[in-house]
Structure 1
């Protein structure tokens, strides 16, 4: 399955920003963010497909994923 590319996060048109609004421009940081998003999407897709194959409703599983993401919080203070 070919997934739609992520919205060029980290590009000049759609930059990652720090808590103070400054643009994150470090190539290595942008690379890590891109890789992390790809891994997250791949893992979520695998879990979604497993759930559907087991008979779960796709929309319900996606809602649970969204709830999990909404409940996340970092253990780190903003820089």
Structure 2
């Protein structure tokens, strides 16, 4: 049986670096909320960009590039 995020089944089960599930409900809440906020900002960018004449593909490529370039601790 696949594990399910206890607060939002649409989101992944959050895991530590060793692969064990994060059990702290407050930590799960924070991660879930951050993901929902990120999703909404990304959706706003897509909608605005399409309305301004960009293609959805170009905007998604830009978003993927931004995420791929993120670093936890920048030098």
TM-score per shorter chain, which class? Answer: 0.7 to 0.9
Matched, 1:26 2:24: yes
Q: How many residues align?
A: 67
Stretches of structure 2 that go unaligned for 5 or more consecutive residues are: 1-7
Q: Post-superposition shift, 1:20? A: 1.3
In structure 2, C-alpha distance between the alignment counterparts of 1:26 and 1:64, rounded to whole Å: 34
TM-score (norm 2): 0.80
Deviation at 1:8, TM superposition (A): 3.4
Runs of 4+ off more than 6 Å: none
Alignment RMSD = 1.9
Cα separation, 1, equivalents of 2:67 and 2:43: 15
